[in-house]
A and B are shown apart, each in its own frame.
Chain A
Amino acid sequence: VSPSDERLFIGLTASRAESGAAPAARIERQLALCLLERHPDVAGFCAYDAAAGDIVPLSRDEAGAWLAGRLASPAPAAVGRRRGRVERYLMGPARRLLLPKLAAVPAPLRAPLSRFLSSARLFVSTGFGVAAAVLDALPRRPAARPQPEQRAAIAFTAQDMLVLPSVAWDQPGLFACAFRHRRASGVGLLVYCDDASPLDRPQLLAPDRLRLLQAGFVDMAWSATRIVCATEATRATLRRFIAAVGLPARPLGVIHPGIDPPGAPPDDRPASLPPVTPGRFALVVAAIEPGCNHQLLYDLWVRLAEEIPDRLVPLLFVGAAGRLSGDLIGIIRDDERMRGRLFVLPDQSDPTFAWLYHNCAFTLHPTLAGGWPRALVDSLALGKYCVASAVPANAELSQGLLDLIDPLDFMAWHDEVRRLLTEPDHLAARERRIAAFRPRAWSSACDALTAEIVACRAAGASA
């Protein structure tokens, strides 16, 4: 990427709302910084401005703030904004305030009180919905609305290259805009896609989310000069999707992301964690949603609590509550048998993750499908055995060091976890085996991405 008239734009898309721990945000940050470091003279940052319907430049300070999770996009898409505000400013704080108090309420009162609070939440949410609909219907003076700052859109040329180190599906106009630029100027577009697995399990998505994803993936296929996938599994999913919707095959590469497991842990257990003993708990790091298969682990812990109550260690579910997770979380919360044995925790800070990984006995990753399995590779990189499901991405990234288990085979999970809990030699043997795990460095991923950019430019020049 040397001639001075060849500019490299790094497009930031991962939403600020996404946790910094989310794979997409992590990958975006690492690849963006890596690319900037490799191409300081020609690289710049940009983002999609939904209000303007165009791609606008970001200063390096803004990009730094964005990548650190401190800057919202220039004009976030309107999808779900109001719901997000109600959740963020009202429901979230209320939940954080009330749930600990609910735990202290006498057991016979807990279930009816929980139902009352759920009804109250529904009532408040509905009330806001009705009020919002009424407000939307009222005529408003345009002057009352604050006008967002307008930025000049980037005038791309055929020598330019736009790289999206991650894709955000909550920006419906992003790829249509990129396609328009590609059609008008011939700018090259390279997209790094870390996860296409929702396409394999549409039944688990909210209908509006599914519509957004379907259109987004098709627009991406149309607008990208080249798509690079984080795993072979993601590439296979994309290939199936592209064929199923009747598009001609697209060039799809694969570059495994780097691995940067949590660093040194704090000495003491962080205050946000329940009273677990180092080495005496199991860990699951994943958003709580049906595709991540937490239900299997809940059932498993219930069974093991009956069979080996004295050997069973607490299990910590750490991750954001996703779609259709409410019932399971409610069941766990209300299950007296699991009190002190199962904990549901929201996303944690990096130091807390470090403490959890370094001090857990082992981790579990029973996902039914998925993109880049960050929790699995972090676990292996830190020498913690991971009981993982036999899905393609796990097989691809675990370097053949795990005995992967069918995510629907309850008894196979039962037998393996029971052995890990009751036979110390079994866990030790597993840990010796994963000592051979070799984490990929981000610099290596960035080398491969740079080669893809060069190839894209060459293809564009010869076209």
Chain B
Amino acid sequence: VRLLDLAAYPIARPLSGRQLRRSALVRTCREAGIAVRPCALYDRRAWRDDDIGGWDLPCDLAEPAFRPELAPADDVRAGLFGAADDATFAQIAALADRFAPDVIQLEQPWCWPLVERLIGRPGRSRPKIVYSAHDVEGPRHRQLLADRRGADAVCAVVEAVETAAVRSADLVLAVAASDADAFRRMGAPAVHVLANGVDERRATPAATASWKARLGPEPVALFVAGEQAANAAGFMDLLGPALAFLPPDRRITVVGNVATPLAASPAFQRWEGINRSRIHFTGPLPDSELAAVLALAQLTILPITAGRGSTIRTAEALHAARVVLGTSLAFRGFERFLGLPWVHCHDDPADFRRRLLELLDAPPPEPGDAALRRELLWSATLRELPALLRRLTGR
């Protein structure tokens, strides 16, 4: 089986949740003997050189400006650009023709316009189309862009692209059962749930010692998230208006690119002095260091208030054998963990804050159920993927 995996973001250096999932999908296929070409049509302004893989193609959405009205959703712009720009399309078509895939897999729906043009060319056999969804994008964008001018038009394009991808795909992969239901309602012919997972990470002794010294002796809570504005909004919605509810000797360690939208948000800046006195921003961390911080934190918080799919950060937190505090949205797809004594779920901000304080003062947690945690590894959650692809292609 030959699989061309198309996305609007590269995975040579996977850090964000969507990069980790796509990277795990590619690895799982390769380990099962499936030939995979991961190709990203990426916006050259947004990535570093070492983020880019061998089959990735740059596009420049700014010069000249392409569909500027879609700027709040750059990924969908990239997909539309790939279909509209003949030179870019020719490069991808050449790659596809040389590789002759049995399956074209879309990571998120953004490259659907490109795939539609690819498979619409006459005289070529149509490969199977797999839409690998990470979320239900229409409602997510409606929520994310609620306050933006021109959001309706952007969301309409997002919904149109997503619906077309869902209906045209031979198989839709969803991250949670609730998402699968949504795709069936949208007209998907076949849907399968492949939950998010986590890689087995081991902290090096040096990383552990270094982070132990940096975090200090007092218990800290950990928040790991990417740069999506919704991550910052969820944090402030649940923990705001200010982190004054934390005593002077309690901190939240914030890992990942969420630091940028969080520190820039008006809610954070209103009480910046207080918030910064109770937050330790680390920026993105490599795996070994993230493993060290996960192991040293008293608990991990998942203040998620937007989106529908399950998050990889939830899998990471549940796998770390530490206490986890999240919202019901954060545990979507991981509901079977909710009854465990080290897993706490609150949607009300006051309850969330109160429980966070209690958990920071509680004795360090016992390690969780090891067998249950093994279910969270990618090797378990994506176990069925290769067989699904073989069945789909009849090989």
Shortest beta-carbon distance, B12 to chain A, in Å?
A: 33
Give Cα distance in the complex from A215 to B277, angstroms.
6
Q: Which residues of A contact B249 (CB under 8 A)?
A: 176, 179-180, 183
Name which of A11-19, A145-153, A242-250, A363-371 contacts chain B.
A242-250
B271 interfacial by beta-carbon distance below 8 Å: yes
Q: Please determine whether A218 and B274 come into contact, CB atoms closer than 8 angstroms.
A: yes
Q: Please determine whether A212 and B273 come into contact, CB atoms closer than 8 angstroms.
A: yes
- CB-nearest residue of chain A to B277: A215
Interface 1/0s, chain A 211-236, versus B by CB < 8 A? 11111001101110000000000000
Q: Please determine whether A179 and B245 come into contact, CB atoms closer than 8 angstroms.
A: no
Interface 1/0s, chain B 225-243, versus A by CB < 8 A? 0000000000000001110
Give Cα distance in the complex from A301 to B133, angstroms.
72
Q: Which residues of B contact A244 (CB under 8 A)?
A: 241-242
Among B269-307, those with CB < 8 Å from A are 271-274, 276-277
Most buried by A among B244, B245, B272: B244
Most buried by A among B248, B272, B274, B353: B248
Q: Please determine whether B276 and A218 come into contact, CB atoms closer than 8 angstroms.
A: no
A175 interfacial by beta-carbon distance below 8 Å: yes
Give Cα distance in the complex from A172 to B276, angstroms.
12
Most buried by B among A172, A175, A244, A245: A245
Q: Please determine whether A175 and B273 come into contact, CB atoms closer than 8 angstroms.
A: no
Q: Please determine whether A214 and B247 come into contact, CB atoms closer than 8 angstroms.
A: no
A22 interfacial by beta-carbon distance below 8 Å: no
The secondary-structure label for the interface of chain A is helix
Among B42-75, those with CB < 8 Å from A are none
Q: Please determine whether A211 and B276 come into contact, CB atoms closer than 8 angstroms.
A: yes
- CB-nearest residue of chain A to B276: A211
Q: Which residues of B contact A218 (CB under 8 A)?
A: 242, 244, 248, 274, 277
Q: Please determine whether B248 and A246 come into contact, CB atoms closer than 8 angstroms.
A: no
Most buried by A among B240, B245, B271, B272: B271
Among A86-134, those with CB < 8 Å from B are none
Which one of A175, A214, A245, A247 lies within 8 Å of B248 (CB-CB)?
A: A175
Q: Please determine whether A179 and B273 come into contact, CB atoms closer than 8 angstroms.
A: no
Q: Please determine whether B247 and A211 come into contact, CB atoms closer than 8 angstroms.
A: no
Which one of B241, B272, B276 lies within 8 Å of A246 (CB-CB)?
A: B241
A52 interfacial by beta-carbon distance below 8 Å: no
A321 interfacial by beta-carbon distance below 8 Å: no
Q: Which residues of B contact A180 (CB under 8 A)?
A: 248-249
Which one of A214, A221, A223, A247 lies within 8 Å of B272 (CB-CB)?
A: A214
A56 interfacial by beta-carbon distance below 8 Å: no
Which one of B240, B245, B273 lies within 8 Å of A214 (CB-CB)?
A: B273
Q: Please determine whether B248 and A222 come into contact, CB atoms closer than 8 angstroms.
A: yes
Which one of A183, A223, A245 lies within 8 Å of B244 (CB-CB)?
A: A245
- CB-nearest residue of chain B to A208: B273
Q: Which residues of A contact B276 (CB under 8 A)?
A: 211, 215
Q: Please determine whether B273 and A211 come into contact, CB atoms closer than 8 angstroms.
A: yes
Among B68-93, those with CB < 8 Å from A are none
Shortest beta-carbon distance, B246 to chain A, in Å?
A: 9
Interface 1/0s, chain A 188-210, versus B by CB < 8 A? 00000000000000000000001
Q: Please determine whether B241 and A179 come into contact, CB atoms closer than 8 angstroms.
A: no
Shortest beta-carbon distance, B272 to chain A, in Å?
A: 6
Q: Which residues of A contact B244 (CB under 8 A)?
A: 218, 221, 245-247
Shortest beta-carbon distance, B263 to chain A, in Å?
A: 12
Q: Please determine whether A246 and B245 come into contact, CB atoms closer than 8 angstroms.
A: yes
Shortest beta-carbon distance, B355 to chain A, in Å?
A: 15
Q: Which residues of B contact A172 (CB under 8 A)?
A: 277
Q: Please determine whether A223 and B241 come into contact, CB atoms closer than 8 angstroms.
A: no
Among B308-365, those with CB < 8 Å from A are 353
Give Cα distance in the complex from A219 to B273, angstroms.
11
Q: Which residues of B contact A219 (CB under 8 A)?
A: 248, 277
- CB-nearest residue of chain A to B245: A246
Q: Which residues of B contact A245 (CB under 8 A)?
A: 241-242, 244, 271, 274
Give Cα distance in the complex from A245 to B242, angstroms.
5
Q: Please determine whether B245 and A215 come into contact, CB atoms closer than 8 angstroms.
A: no
Q: Which residues of A contact B240 (CB under 8 A)?
A: 246
Give Cα distance in the complex from A225 to B251, angstroms.
22
- CB-nearest residue of chain A to B218: A180
Give Cα distance in the complex from A302 to B385, angstroms.
83
Q: Please determine whether B248 and A223 come into contact, CB atoms closer than 8 angstroms.
A: yes
- CB-nearest residue of chain B to A183: B249
Give Cα distance in the complex from A180 to B249, angstroms.
7
Give Cα distance in the complex from A244 to B272, angstroms.
13
Give Cα distance in the complex from A247 to B245, angstroms.
6
- CB-nearest residue of chain B to A210: B273
Q: Which residues of B contact A247 (CB under 8 A)?
A: 244-245
Give Cα distance in the complex from A179 to B250, angstroms.
11
Most buried by A among B240, B249, B353: B249
Most buried by B among A175, A215, A219: A215
Which one of A176, A183, A214, A222 lies within 8 Å of B271 (CB-CB)?
A: A214
Q: Which residues of A contact B271 (CB under 8 A)?
A: 214, 245
Most buried by A among B240, B241, B273, B353: B273
Give Cα distance in the complex from A16 to B48, angstroms.
50
Q: When A244-B241, A246-B241 are in contact, do A213 and B248 touch as well, CB less than 8 Å?
A: no
Q: Please determine whether B245 and A176 come into contact, CB atoms closer than 8 angstroms.
A: no
Further contacts, 10 of them, CB under 8 A, given A210-B273, A246-B245: A172-B277, A179-B247, A210-B272, A211-B273, A214-B273, A218-B274, A218-B277, A222-B247, A245-B241, A245-B271
Where the two chains meet, the residues of A that have a C-beta atom closer than 8 Å to any C-beta of B are: 172, 175-176, 179-180, 183, 210-215, 218-219, 221-223, 244-247
21 contacts between A and B (CB under 8 A): A176-B249, A183-B247, A210-B272, A210-B273, A211-B273, A211-B276, A211-B277, A213-B273, A214-B273, A214-B274, A215-B274, A218-B242, A218-B274, A218-B277, A221-B244, A222-B247, A223-B248, A244-B241, A244-B242, A245-B244, A246-B245
